[in-house]
């Protein structure tokens, strides 16, 4: 069942979302190529979120997620655990942040270039970001989730890339993960109808090569099966009678 939020609840999610967006911006600005580690960024995120009166949504998730953020470099698709890895020129780095405040979560991710990156990497970032934006545009009252999903898939595949199937976008609110599932593939007629007050995370994960993924023995880190690049962009979106509203913005 999709839990529809009242305006007062969406206002709370807007505040959580503002903190998420601010955290992403400050982390991206803090990267010193060849020096900053993913663990440095995670520590900074914890400090920013806490100072803003929030709690990192991911810390302790599923009982054991050990960090405040997920930071996924190059062939890491999602759920990279921050640690001693140094961010080097040419890397692409997906920073995924969730914030819980006043009873509500917001969740967003962005893949940033570290210094100068190769043209193929830049194109992957452009296509993945545009797939997210085209999907968001379909998140309107009366539309089925499948319209979002199929729009993302069509745009990605038309550009020669593949969408990851095993990991999905999701509803969000009092819980980080709520109904409905928001796949990045499918057909327009599939899935539930979106109503005003639905709040969803749309988050395409796009691979340069095969769609196949492998989870590493740490139980979290998901990598591409062929070692090629992957990118990920995510926003929390409210479906309103005035159209989709981005909640994870400053």
106 neighbors 13 (Cβ within 8 angstroms): yes
Stretch that binds ligand MF3, among 13-21, 28-36, 58-66, 83-91 (CB under 6 A): 58-66
Question: Within 13 Å, how many C-alpha atoms sit on residue 116's CB side?
Answer: 0
Q: For the segment 75-104, give every residue that binds ligand MF3 (CB under 6 A).
A: 79, 96
How far, in Å, CA of 110 to CA of 182, rounded? 18
Residue 65 touches ligand MF3, criterion: CB under 6 A: yes
| Interface size with ligand MF3, residues (CB under 6 A) | 11
Q: Which is nearer to Co ion, 86 or 168 (CB)?
A: 168
Pairing of strands 69-73, 92-101: antiparallel
Report yes or no: 233 and 93 within 8 Å, Cβ to Cβ. Answer: no
Residue 15 or residue 234: which is nearer to ligand MF3 going by CB? 234
Query: x/- site string to ligand MF3, residues 167 to 206, per CB under 6 A?
Result: ---x------------------------------x-----
CA distance 175 to 13: 11
197 in Cβ contact with 209 (< 8 Å): no
- Please, what is the minimum distance in Å from the beta carbon of residue 242 to ligand MF3? 25
Q: Residues 107, 147, 178, 245: which binds ligand MF3 (CB under 6 A)?
A: 107
Query: 117-148 as b/e, with b when 16 or more CB fall inside 10 Å?
Result: beeebebbbebbbbbbebbbebbbbebbbbbb
Closest CA to 5 of 236, 183, 203: 236
Say whether residue 112 binds ligand MF3 (CB under 6 A). no
CA dist., res. 67 & res. 212, Å (int): 26
Q: Which does 58 bind (CB under 5 to 8 A by kind): ligand MF3, Co ion, none?
A: ligand MF3
Cβ-based neighbours of 119, under 8 Å, separated by 6 or more: none
Q: Which stretch binds ligand MF3 (CB under 6 A): 15-23, 57-65, 138-146, 189-197?
A: 57-65
Query: Which of 7/166 has CB closer to ligand MF3?
Result: 166
Tell me the residue number closest to ligand MF3, measured at CB.
61
Q: How far is the CB of 107 from Co ion (least distance, A)?
A: 4
Site of interaction with Co ion (CB under 5 A) = 107, 201
Residues that bind ligand MF3 in the complex, under the rule CB under 6 A: 58, 61, 65, 70, 79, 96, 107, 109, 170, 201, 234
């Amino acid at each position: 069942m999709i839990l529809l939020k009242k305006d007062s609840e969406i206002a709370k999610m807007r505040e959580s979302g503002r903190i998420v967006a601010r955290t992403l911006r400050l982390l991206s600005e803090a990267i010193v190529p060849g020096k900053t580690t993913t663990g440095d960024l995670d520590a900074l995120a914890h400090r920013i979120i806490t100072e803003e009166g929030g709690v990192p949504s991911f810390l302790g998730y599923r009982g054991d997620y050990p960090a405040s953020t997920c930071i996924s470099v190059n062939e890491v698709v999602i759920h990279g655990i921050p640690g001693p890895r140094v961010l080097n020129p040419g890397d692409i780095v997906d920073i995924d942040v969730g914030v819980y405040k006043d009873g509500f979560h917001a969740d967003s991710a962005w893949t940033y270039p570290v210094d100068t990156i190769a043209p193929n990497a830049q194109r992957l970032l452009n296509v993945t970001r545009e797939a997210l934006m085209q999907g968001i545009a379909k998140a309107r009252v009366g539309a089925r989730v499948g319209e979002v999903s199929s729009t993302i898939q069509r745009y990605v595949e038309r550009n020669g890339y593949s969408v990851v199937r095993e990991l999905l976008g999701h509803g969000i609110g009092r819980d980080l993960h709520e109904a409905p599932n928001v796949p990045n593939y499918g057909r327009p007629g599939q899935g539930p109808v979106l109503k005003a007050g639905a709040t969803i995370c749309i988050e395409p994960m796009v691979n340069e090569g095969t769609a196949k993924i492998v989870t590493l023995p740490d139980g979290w880190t998901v990598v591409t099966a062929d070692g090629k690049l992957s990118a990920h962009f995510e926003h929390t979106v409210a479906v309103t009678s005035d159209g989709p509203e981005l909640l994870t913005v400053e």
